[in-house]
Amino acid sequence: MAAAGTVAGPAGPEPMPSYAQLVQRGWGSALAAARGCADCGWGLARRGLAEHAHLAPPELLLLALCALGWTALRSAATSRLFRPLAKRCRLQPRDAAKMPESAWKFLFYLGAWSYSTYLLFGTDYPFFHDPPSVFYDWKTGMAVPRDIAVAYLLQGSFYGHSIYATLYLDAWRKDSVVMLIHHVVTLVLIISSYAFRYHKVGILVLFLHDISDVQLEFTKLNVYFKSRGGSHHRLHALAADLGCLSFSLSWFWFRLYWFPLKVLYATSYCSLRSVPDIPFYFFFNALLLLLTLMNLYWFLYIVAFAAKVLTGQVRELKDVREYDTAEALSPKPSKAE
């Protein structure tokens, strides 16, 4: 493959496209790229990896060590903080068993989303307001800014931990297989986007996804705490209801509106304008499209849950990922905990 040449972007931010423009321009660009790729295949992929992937073994080792660190930290937080808190607040046994998982995820995603928000709105990075700019001045092996590299290390190691946690620590739910696939896809995207220096678009992807996880875990925590001590707590019940509403709205707005129109438009269409021979174009766009389909799959859960509430089939807000299972499976025993 010839060295990818970079084309400078326009002077100002581009207006966000419509869904129709995304499909028309993205699909047209993908077809044109496929027709123009005369030597596509494993040979091109191997050359692309050799020429454009920059990931040192010590970086992978650090990622693995941090993933182990997250697992150890979760075990310590569960035994020394979350379980004693559940006992002190006299949560119901079922809620006390699930509360540590939600508390752990809430704290991580709140910190991770706050940091990505700072990167996008508290610095000079223009990625949110001008998504096509993520590919301006792209170069093979370009330096990754330290603040973005920190975000990548924290997120990549956490998703490595999350694959293990989904299998052995978390409660098993009806969508746990999809959740496991999501974690694998996310980890592959994080590692490969870092190696190919697509870290700018990676920060935008993380920002648009983490906010929903913050609201989901916040809602679940309030569901668990509203019946603490054997009595009904109206403040937690109200917070759970508002959290569920906010979670549903933000899921659509961030993951099904902004994500495709900002990220997919930039990666499928604008990337080829800025870098005509951009490496692994189809690989990254396929994974991002798969992520979009999983977001749509979970949104159908949310719509179905809302329909049950509106029709009176569900009178009390429970775990929004277990709305259709009256007897959910118990959390798996944890080897680490």
Q: What is the pLDDT of residues 48-62, one digit of tens each?
A: 777 777 889 999 999
All residues at 6 or more sequence positions from 80 whose CB lies less than 8 Å from its CB, including other chains? none
Winning range, highest mean pLDDT, from 29-43, 70-84, 301-315: 70-84
Structure confidence by residue, pLDDT tens digits, 320-334? 555 433 333 344 444
Cα separation of the two ends of the chain: 49
Task: Give domain status of residue 20, yes or no.
Answer: no
Q: Is residue 185 part of a domain?
A: yes
> Radius of gyration of the chain from Cα atoms?
21
Q: In this predicted model, which residue has the larger pLDDT, 43 or 26? A: 26
pLDDT at 43: 67
Task: Tell me what the mean pLDDT of segment 36-51 comes to.
Answer: 71
Asked if residue 319 belongs to a domain, the reply is no
Structure tokens belonging to residue 309: 């509430």
CB 190 within 8 Å of CB 207? no
Number of structural domains found in the chain: 1
In terms of residue numbers, what domain contains 250? 53-311
Q: What is the pLDDT of residue 218?
A: 94
pTM above 0.85, yes or no: yes
Q: Rounded distance, CA 193 to CA 266, Å?
A: 14
pLDDT for position 327: 36
Please state which of the ranges 35-39, 103-107, 327-331 shows the lowest mean pLDDT.
327-331
In a domain, 42, yes or no: no
The confidence band for 227, taking pLDDT boundaries of 50, 70 and 90, is confident
pLDDT confidence bin for 41, thresholds 50/70/90: low
Q: What is the pLDDT of residue 336?
A: 40
Q: Which two tokens stand for residue 122?
A: 């508290």
Closest CA to 319 of 101, 104, 156: 101
Percent of the residues in the chain that have a pLDDT greater than 90, as a whole number: 59
Domain-located, residue 326 = no
Which of 115-124, 244-253, 288-297 shows the highest mean pLDDT?
115-124
Q: How far apart are CA 105 and CA 247, in angstroms?
A: 15
- Between CA 35 and CA 239 the distance in angstroms is 53
What residues pair up with 171 in beta bridges, in sequence order?
A: 331
pLDDT band at 13 (very low <50, low <70, confident <90, very high): confident
Tokens standing for 250? 């933000």
Which residue intervals of 196-280 are DSSP H helices? 199-225, 234-250, 265, 271-274
The tokens 């959290």 sit on which residue? 243
Q: Name the more confident of 187 and 2.
A: 187
Structural domain includes residue 124: yes
Contacts of 195 (CB under 8 A, 6+ apart): 53, 54, 55
